[in-house]
């Protein structure tokens, strides 16, 4: 990719989040991630080109020096900062504008700095393929996979119902989505194949922003952007149409009718196996068994409770889910227990603003930052050092709670090509539990969306936490009230 010969016609709109917009190359397996800022600042950018460069470099450093050490560098693609011709960026902004969702247009693409993050296009991996069938790529945003310890929270419900399940009620009541997702992260992180299968099925039923499927780099399944939540059966039928060729010959089904239910089941099994085995190394160890703490079961999950308490628990120690969960659990205090420590740090910075750099609040995200959060004392000694370490741990944990997993599934090669498989990292031959015959898949697993969370987001997190819990308790109270009235006025 020659930066001095960039042509906007070689790029297409790929997607965007709250802080950045992504375009993908039409031929190369590359994406560019460009910063966004509020539309009202379009004439007066909020930061200089140097500041924009530093912001993106911080993302790269945080990913490569901190998150890759915690999550495993085999899962991480940190990318690099590139400086693009300004005219190319301006023309690119004009080209992609009509393709952007209306609800995202309150922010504009940064056309002044010319800075971008260049990454591999994980939805269209440049893998050696012996099949004419394009790869499938599944993006999952798993969210938080454990319940907080009861000693750090003020509302007992938080130790029984996970944040995601409570948040669903708040999102519906605020109009963000029209209906709740029945996905529960604790089911996905359980290590129980039955619970994981159930969790993925719920993601398919109601994807929201937590589940997408790509085929050959094109998104073929996701929720409608903008919070409408309107998924009809034709979308699922369309997904089955795309999936059917990959699973037509599973379990000796040659020349047999393959039901949609069977196709979906096979697809979910392939995905679950990839999530469990992505680290390789066979069975390996398992994560710390948290059943005694009661932190692996969410009372709001609709998975059968008796079934959930019987069956294998724990994740393979080097699997992608295990790595993410262990990093999430750096948040040992919950936002309620963390907030007083944040206030300690905030007060110190108010008194000594020049120490912001020394405390690495905004970076640099280097070995010293990682060492600081890893050597945090076990008990609060009232020091600033303890508070800073815990705040850093919380910010890292929040990144892990908001990351995405990308699983690229490449249809298996013919037997004579089985040895030529050194192009994936990590990669395994995935024969699932479908049969001893094809379909087989090679796969790669990656973790993305690993930006550092800003210090000033902590008060916002506390406020949101209160809103979510209050909304859920009101919903529960209303449900109990309805049940009581039903019993009271039941006709005889």
448: nearest Cα among 15, 6, 2, 12: 15
Reported as a pLDDT band with limits 50, 70 and 90, residue 311 is low
Distance CA 223, CA 208 (A): 5
Reported as a pLDDT band with limits 50, 70 and 90, residue 308 is low
| Residue 331 and residue 398 in contact, taking contact as beta carbons nearer than 8 Å | yes
Average pLDDT over residues 315-332: 94
C-alpha torsion angle, residues 202, 205, 211, 216 (rounded to 10) = 130
Is residue 205 scored above 90 in pLDDT? yes
Who wins on pLDDT, 115 or 492?
Answer: 115
Who wins on pLDDT, 377 or 329?
Answer: 329
Is residue 430 scored above 90 in pLDDT? no
Which letter does DSSP use for residue 78 in this model? -
Is residue 6 scored above 60 in pLDDT? yes
Go through 139-173 and write b for each residue having 16 or more CB atoms within 10 A of its CB, e for each that does not: bbbbbbbbbbbeebbebeebbebbbbbbbbbbbbe
CATH superfamily, domain 3-120, is Inositol-pentakisphosphate 2-kinase, N-lobe (3.30.200.110)
Domain coordinates in residue numbering, the chain: 3-120, 123-485
Tokens of 8: 């906007």
Average pLDDT over residues 461-482: 91
Query: Which residue has 């780099």 as its token pair?
Result: 217
| Residue 313 and residue 191 in contact, taking contact as beta carbons nearer than 8 Å | yes
Give tens-digit pLDDT for 87-146. Answer: 999 999 999 999 998 888 899 999 999 999 999 999 887 654 555 778 899 999 999 999
Give CA separation, 207 vs 162, 201, 261, 478, in Å.
18, 10, 18, 27
Give CA separation, 491 vs 16, 478, 480, 482, 484, in Å.
54, 22, 19, 15, 14
117 bridge partner residues: 33, 81
Which letter does DSSP use for residue 66 in this model? I
pLDDT of residue 249: 63
Is residue 488 scored above 70 in pLDDT? no
Average pLDDT over residues 72-100: 94
Distance CA 312, CA 192 (A): 5
31 bridge partner residues: 24, 119
Give tens-digit pLDDT for 379-396. Answer: 999 999 999 999 999 999
81: nearest Cα among 33, 46, 45, 48: 33
Give tens-digit pLDDT for 156-184. Answer: 999 999 999 999 999 999 988 999 999 99
pLDDT of residue 18: 86
Reported as a pLDDT band with limits 50, 70 and 90, residue 442 is confident
Who wins on pLDDT, 82 or 296?
Answer: 82
Give tens-digit pLDDT for 281-307. Answer: 333 444 444 444 557 899 999 997 656
């Amino acid at each position: 990719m020659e930066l001095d010969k960039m042509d906007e016609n070689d790029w297409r709109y790929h997607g965007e989040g709250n802080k950045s917009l992504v375009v993908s190359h039409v031929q190369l397996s590359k994406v560019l991630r460009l910063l966004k800022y509020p539309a009202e600042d379009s004439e007066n950018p909020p930061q200089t080109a140097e500041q924009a460069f530093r912001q993106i470099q911080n993302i790269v450093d945080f990913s490569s020096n901190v998150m890759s050490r915690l999550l495993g560098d085999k899962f991480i693609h940190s990318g690099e900062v590139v400086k693009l011709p300004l005219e190319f960026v301006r023309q690119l902004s004009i080209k992609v504008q009509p393709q952007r969702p209306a609800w995202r247009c309150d922010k504009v693409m940064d056309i002044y700095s010319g800075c971008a993050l260049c990454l591999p296009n994980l939805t269209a991996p440049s893998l050696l393929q012996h099949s004419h069938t394009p790869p499938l790529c599944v993006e999952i945003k798993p969210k938080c996979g454990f319940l907080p310890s009861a000693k750090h929270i003020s509302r007992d419900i938080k130790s029984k119902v996970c944040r995601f399940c409570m948040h669903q009620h708040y999102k519906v009541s605020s109009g963000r989505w029209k209906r709740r997702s029945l996905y529960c992260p604790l089911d996905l992180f359980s290590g129980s194949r039955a619970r994981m299968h159930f969790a993925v099925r719920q993601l398919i039923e109601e994807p929201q922003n937590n589940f997408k499927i790509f085929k050959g780099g094109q998104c073929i399944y996701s929720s409608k952007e903008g919070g409408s939540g309107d998924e009809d059966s034709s979308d699922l039928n369309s997904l089955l149409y795309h999936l059917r060729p990959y699973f037509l010959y599973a379990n000796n089904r040659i020349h047999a009718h393959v039901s949609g239910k069977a196709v979906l089941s096979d697809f979910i099994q392939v995905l679950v196996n990839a999530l469990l085995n992505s680290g390789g190394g066979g069975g390996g160890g398992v994560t710390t068994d948290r059943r005694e703490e009661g932190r692996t079961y969410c009372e709001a999950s609709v998975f059968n409770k008796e079934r959930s308490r019987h069956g294998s628990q724990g994740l393979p120690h080097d699997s992608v889910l295990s790595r993410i969960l262990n990093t999430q659990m750096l948040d040992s205090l919950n936002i309620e227990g963390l907030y007083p420590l944040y206030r300690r740090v905030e007060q110190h910075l108010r008194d000594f603003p020049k120490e912001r750099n020394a405390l690495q609040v905004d970076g640099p995200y280097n070995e010293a930052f990682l060492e600081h959060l890893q050597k945090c004392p076990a008990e609060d000694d009232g020091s600033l050092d303890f508070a800073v370490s815990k705040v850093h741990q919380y910010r890292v944990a929040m990144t892990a709670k908001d990351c995405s997993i990308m699983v690229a599934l490449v249809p298996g090669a013919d037997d004579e090509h089985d040895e030529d498989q050194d192009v994936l990292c990590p990669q395994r031959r995935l024969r699932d539990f479908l049969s001893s015959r094809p379909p087989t898949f090679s796969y790669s697993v990656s973790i993305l969306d690993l930006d550092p969370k800003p210090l000033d987001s902590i008060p916002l997190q506390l406020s949101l936490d209160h809103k979510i819990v209050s909304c859920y308790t009101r919903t529960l109270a209303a449900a109990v009230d309805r049940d009581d009235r039903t019993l009271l006025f039941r006709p005889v």
